Amino acid sequence: MPTLDPILVAGIIASIGISVLLVLLGIDRAQGLIIGLLGTILTLIVDLVARLRDTEAHILDTVSLGLRIARDEWLFDIIEQIVTDSCTV
């Protein structure tokens, strides 16, 4: 189960806070809501970019591990035998 990102939660709370503050200060409600929604959208975009970076790093790590395993014949043969044995069970 994915956990909530604290930066995302803080950004959304800040956006809602700004919206409420603008409404309480008497600025038009539509402007306050638009600013709050834009803040939320920006926070979601920043969170998405951070998650994409993490995913990219994991993919690169996986590819480099696969290449290292493929270069080491002894390790490759052992892993191939394990896979073969698990498929026959």
Res. 59 pLDDT band, cuts 50 70 90: very high
Distance set, CA 68 to CA 75, 80, 81 (Å): 9, 14, 17
The domain ranges of the chain are 6-88
Of residues 48, 50, 24, 47, the one with CA closest to residue 36: 24
Q: Report the range of poorest mean pLDDT among 31-40, 59-68, 76-85.
A: 31-40
Give this prediction's pTM: 0.56
pLDDT per position as a tens digit, 64-79: 888 888 888 888 888 8
Average pLDDT over residues 36-52: 82
Comparison of pLDDT for 15 and 2, the residue scoring more: 15
CA–CA gap between residue 5 and residue 78 (Å, rounded): 39
pLDDT at 32: 66
Residue written as tokens 């696969």? Answer: 66
